[in-house]
A and B are shown apart, each in its own frame.
Chain A
Amino acid sequence: MRPVNAVITKIVDETPAIRTFFFDTTFELIPGQFVMVWIRGVDEIPMALSYENAITVQKVGHATSALFELEACDSVGIRGPFGNGFGIEKGHILLVAGGVGAAPLAPLAEKADESGIKVTTLLGAKTKDELLFRGRFGAAGDVRVATDDGSEGIHGFVTQLIEEPDRYSQIYCCGPEIMMKKVLDKVAPPKAQFSLHRYIKCGIGICGACCIDGLRVCRDGPVFSGEILKKSEFGVYRRNECGERARV
């Protein structure tokens, strides 16, 4: 598909560093899927859909900075949704979200709750002000909070909130890779799903730039079972835009 023109209808400041951009275009979304967002004249970047018509973005580099310059009525080009998305399991699920990693998990929490699945969320951020989608997770189930500076919830990492992981039917995780690796080490790998971030070029499974152990993050992922990741380079190294390996 060619990029679809998506007009920004509303911009919401979620935290001091994170904004949600709502579009006039709605996508048929499996939570965990992503879109390629083309900021014309600048770059095209992968972003998880946080609603069926929105992306939630943290300002981290030149492309996201350019996106933050845009206002309502401006537009971007969008390809997607791409990737597999989370596989929803019945029972009582645990979501573990770190920082902007809450973006793909919030629609999952809502969809699971609507389907009668019990949802517990562990939400972590650097500080109280950076906790993302606390209200959405709260509306879908229980929420426990961890902040790096102790300004809210427990003082420490969200991974410290994981207790008795075996009692959950499935664990869903998105956040910084180091954090996800810690989660993987704490839970039964086949019962956990992780949404990965890699440098993505084509987005459609052809170029191979985003491969992790031969698996295409853009096409075979971005969600992978812990079983697959356990034996992989996940948490060890990633690749830059040249394909060079760099430690996570």
Chain B
Amino acid sequence: MLSLTLTGLNLKNPLMLAAGIMGTTGDSLKRIALAGAGAVVTKSIGTESRGGHSNPSMVEVDCGYLNAMGLPNPSYKDFQYEIDRASEGGVPVIASIFGGCSLDFSEIAKSLDADAFELNVSCPHAHGYGAEIGTDPALVEDITHAVKTAVNVPVWVKLTPNVTDIKSIGLAAQHGGADAVVAINTVRGMAIDIESSYPILGNKFGGLSGRAIKPVTVKCVYDLYEVLDIPVIGVGGISDWKDAVEVIMAGAKAVQIGSAVGNNINIFNDISSCMEAFLQEKEWSLDDIYGMAHEV
């Protein structure tokens, strides 16, 4: 009862693994697929291998996590093996990709065989990449269009909340031909160690994820749903089934789960069964609750 079609992909449930979580190795993606995810998104892959920022690259803070991994990845030239391995999990594998310009993005997309692409134009802490691109509507449209031209699979665009008006960026993705937008990436943040005054993250600042940002997600999804014709995929702070239902009611066709996987590797099965029970009790379908908050 949780199955759906999302940008042409058939999903057994609307719960996906978010990019950057357990996504560097094919085997870890496969593990999450076998643990009940409807689809899995890989770590963001670039044109060249990168080690990322120095540690600490992730730290738990109040109600969430701050991270600045710095886009570590083995490059697309060394990643098809991992995607193929992940596909053994039996659910769609979405390749998250990043680059500094539209040529980078299309080069990577053309070279990888995946069920869909998620364009990371929203990482808040990698110089020259991510949100430095994703805050400019013209660049977002240009990159989306370039990847759409390069591949024949769905293209999703992951948006940063660190903008004045996320709707304009979502519309730019839609104009560029995106099949869906994914909202939101982490919220820019920082933590300082008061014993030493050192910023804790190796990169000094990073992105906030986890429970703390869920209300930001709900608002961004709600706003994007109002203005876009393409589906919105909700991500950011979803930690249990109630969060998933809430974000779907805000207007997300499907959701992604990231940080919460750390403490509960079986979260996808847990959320599926609780969501099913809730829908049964309410006598609602998944489609009924999709965007339901806009009808009241």
A206 to B67: give the CA distance in the assembly, Å: 10
| Complex Cα–Cα for A3 and B60 (A) | 9
- Separation of A216 and B196 alpha carbons in the complex (Å): 31
| B144 at the binding interface (Cβ < 8 Å) | no
Distance A240 CA – B265 CA, assembled complex (angstroms):
24
Indicate if the CB atoms of B27 and A213 lie closer than 8 Å. yes
Is A87's beta carbon under 8 Å from chain B?
Answer: no
B263 at the interface (CB under 8 A from A): yes
Give the shortest distance, in Å, between B53 (CB) and chain A (any CB): 9
Q: Which residues of A contact B51 (CB under 8 A)?
A: 240-242
The reply to whether B49 and A242 contact each other, CB–CB distance below 8 Å, is: yes
Known contacts: A43-B54, A75-B196, A242-B73. The answer to whether A205 contacts B262 by CB under 8 A is yes
Q: Is the CB of B262 within 8 A of A45?
A: no
Is the beta-carbon distance between A211 and B54 smaller than 8 angstroms? no
Produce 1/0 per residue, B226-266, CB < 8 A to A: 00000000000000000000000000000000110111010
Q: Are B58 and A202 in contact (CB under 8 A)?
A: yes
With known contacts A44-B202, A242-B72, A243-B43, A214–B27 Cβ distance under 8 A: yes
> Of all chain A residues, which has the CB nearest B195?
A5
Interface check A208, CB cutoff 8 A: yes
* Contact between chains at B78 and A3 (CB < 8 Å): no
**Tally of B interface residues using CB under 8 Å:** 44
Q: How far is the CA of A51 from the CA of B93 in the complex (A)?
A: 44
Smallest CB–CB gap between B97 and chain A, Å? 14
* In the complex, A134 has a CB within 8 A of chain B: no
Task: Say yes or no: A242 contacts B50, CB within 8 Å.
Answer: yes
- Decide yes or no: A244 and B55 within 8 Å by CB, A5-B196, A206-B259 being known contacts: no
> Is B189 in the interface zone, CB < 8 Å from A?
no
A208 touches which of B24, B65, B259 (Cβ 8 Å): B24
Determine the distance from Cα of A129 to Cα of B188 in the docked complex, in whole angstroms: 50
Binds B, one of A33-41, A110-118, A163-171: A33-41
- In the complex the two chains form, is A239's CB within 8 Å of B27's CB? no
The segment from B4-12, B15-23, B104-112 found at the interface with A is B15-23
B145 within 8 A of A: no
Closest to A5 in B: B195
Residues of A within 8 A of B23 (CB): 208
Q: Judge if B80 is at the interface, Cβ distance under 8 Å.
A: no
With known contacts A242-B50, A243-B43, A36–B262 Cβ distance under 8 A: no
A79 at the interface (CB under 8 A from B): yes
The size bracket of the interface on A is 35 or more
Residues B193 and A77 in contact, CB atoms below 8 Å apart = yes
Q: Please, how many angstroms separate the alpha-carbon atoms of A214 and B31 in the complex? A: 6
List A1-56 residues whose CB lies under 8 Å from chain B.
Answer: 1-3, 5, 36, 38, 40-45
Q: How far is the CB of A29 from chain B (nearest CB, A)?
A: 20
Which of A203, A216, A244 contacts B78 (CB under 8 A)? A244
Complex CA distance for A241 and B195, rounded to whole angstroms: 29
Judge whether A44 and B78 touch: CB under 8 Å: no
Contact B21 A38, beta carbon cutoff 8 Å: no
Partner of B58, one of A206, A241, A244, A245: A206
In the complex, how many angstroms separate the beta carbon of B134 from the nearest chain A beta carbon? 21
Q: Is A211 a contact partner of B59 (Cβ separation < 8 A)? A: no
The answer, yes or no, to whether B47 is at the interface (CB within 8 Å) is no
- The residue that B25 contacts in the complex, of A201, A206, A208, with Cβ under 8 A, is A208
Q: A243 with B74: in contact, given A40-B198, A201-B52, A205-B262 (CB under 8 Å)? A: yes
Residue B69 is within 8 A (CB to CB) of chain A in the complex: yes
CA distance A204 to B23 in the complex (A): 15
Jot down 5 A-B pairs with beta carbons below 8 A, ordered by A: A2-B193, A202-B67, A207-B24, A241-B51, A242-B52
Query: Chain A: residues with CB nearer than 8 A to chain B?
Result: 1-3, 5, 36, 38, 40-45, 75, 77, 79, 201-209, 211, 213-216, 219, 239-245
Q: Which 10 A-B pairs have the closest CB atoms?
A: A214-B31, A44-B55, A208-B22, A202-B58, A206-B262, A214-B27, A241-B51, A5-B195, A243-B24, A242-B49
